[in-house]
Amino acid sequence: DTGVSQDPRHKITKRGQNVTFRCDPISEHNRLYWYRQTLGQGPEFLTYFQNEAQLEKSRLLSDRFSAERPKGSFSTLEIQRTEQGDSAMYLCASSREGDTQYFGPGTRLTVL
Amino acid sequence: EDQVTQSPEALRLQEGESSSLNCSYTVSGLRGLFWYRQDPGKGPEFLFTLYSAGEEKEKERLKATLTKKESFLHITAPKPEDSATYLCAVQARDKIIFGKGTRLHILP
């Protein structure tokens, strides 16, 4: 059992640049979730997929954010024209439908 | 509005000093309540899922309980390695809503 993996673990970028993060879920899990966490707060839901279908998006997910899960396996989260307010830990989780979510180690984004 | 509130925000205990963390929630149609542990700079690590009032789960020095309005995470005789942030979350429909966590620090 390899668990949920995320890449990269850390990303430093300049304001205005685009960034892309990758998440590989636990292999038998059909659901994949993205969360954002800032210092002193709990994770906040961004979006989730069941297989390749994106079923829900939070109001937090502005039009600069896009997520894909093209073959129902790994997922990518892209942020275009990054802003300093995008600095946060981006967490990915996966689960079987309706079951407990297991989290990856996160990608820490710093926007300068 | 679905909401999760954890208290206290931070707790310092001496090694061996037992205590409880609180998670109160309001949610329409609770489908599960979760406890996670999070170490600095890492993702949340799953501890327990509780589904119905009266349910209890235990793991080593931790025990989680659930009522219709709140959950408690009891920690018995804690050790310094139990220091972490403990997150409570509730599942409402297809997403889970987290509280802000309790930062627990166990002094040797």
Closest CA to B61 of B53, B71, B72, B73: B73
Q: Rounded to a whole number, what is the distance in Å from the CA of A105 to chain B's nearest CA?
A: 4
What number is the average pLDDT over the span A76-103? 94
Residue of A nearest to B45 (CA): A103
> Taking a C-beta distance cutoff of 8 angstroms, is the pair B78, B63 a contact?
no
pLDDT at A1: 55
DSSP state of B42: S
DSSP A61-109: --TTEEEE-TTSS-EEEEESS--GGG-EEEEEEEESTTS--EE---EEE
Q: Is the per-residue pLDDT at A45 higher than 70?
A: yes
- A84 interface with B at CB cutoff 8 Å: no
> Taking a C-beta distance cutoff of 8 angstroms, is the pair A13, A35 a contact?
no
Closest CA to B89 of A37, A88, A63: A37
- A55 interface with B at CB cutoff 8 Å: yes
Confidence of residue B95 (pLDDT cuts 50, 70, 90): confident
pLDDT at A6: 98
Task: Write out pLDDT tens, residues B58-73.
Answer: 999 999 999 999 999 9
pLDDT at A61: 84
Q: What are phi and psi of B51, to 5 degrees?
A: -115, -30
Q: Do B98 and A98 touch (CB under 8 A)?
A: no
pLDDT at A8: 97
Q: Is the per-residue pLDDT at A62 higher than 70?
A: yes
Residue of B nearest to A108 (CA): B41
Q: Do B44 and A4 touch (CB under 8 A)?
A: no
Q: Is the per-residue pLDDT at B74 higher than 90?
A: yes
pLDDT at B15: 97
Residue of B nearest to A92 (CA): B43
Q: Which residues of A touch B36 (CB under 8 A)?
A: 103
Q: Rounded to a whole number, what is the distance in Å from the CA of A102 to chain B's nearest CA?
A: 7
Q: Do A42 and B4 touch (CB under 8 A)?
A: yes
Q: Is the per-residue pLDDT at A69 higher than 90?
A: yes
Confidence of residue B30 (pLDDT cuts 50, 70, 90): confident
Q: Do A45 and B94 touch (CB under 8 A)?
A: no
Q: Is the per-residue pLDDT at B3 higher than 60?
A: yes
Long-range contacts of B41-44 (CB under 8 A, 24+ apart): B41/A106, B41/A108, B42/A105, B42/A106, B43/A4, B43/A6, B43/A91, B43/A93, B43/A103, B43/A104, B43/A105, B43/A106, B44/A43, B44/A91, B44/A103, B44/B87
Q: Which residues of A touch B89 (CB under 8 A)?
A: 42
Q: Is the per-residue pLDDT at B40 higher than 70?
A: yes
Q: Is the per-residue pLDDT at B28 higher than 90?
A: no
Higher pLDDT, B39 or B27: B39
Confidence of residue A27 (pLDDT cuts 50, 70, 90): very high
> Taking a C-beta distance cutoff of 8 angstroms, is the pair B104, B20 a contact?
no
Q: What are phi and psi of A8, to 5 degrees?
A: -80, 175
Q: Which residues of B touch A106 (CB under 8 A)?
A: 41-43
Q: Is the per-residue pLDDT at A72 higher than 90?
A: no
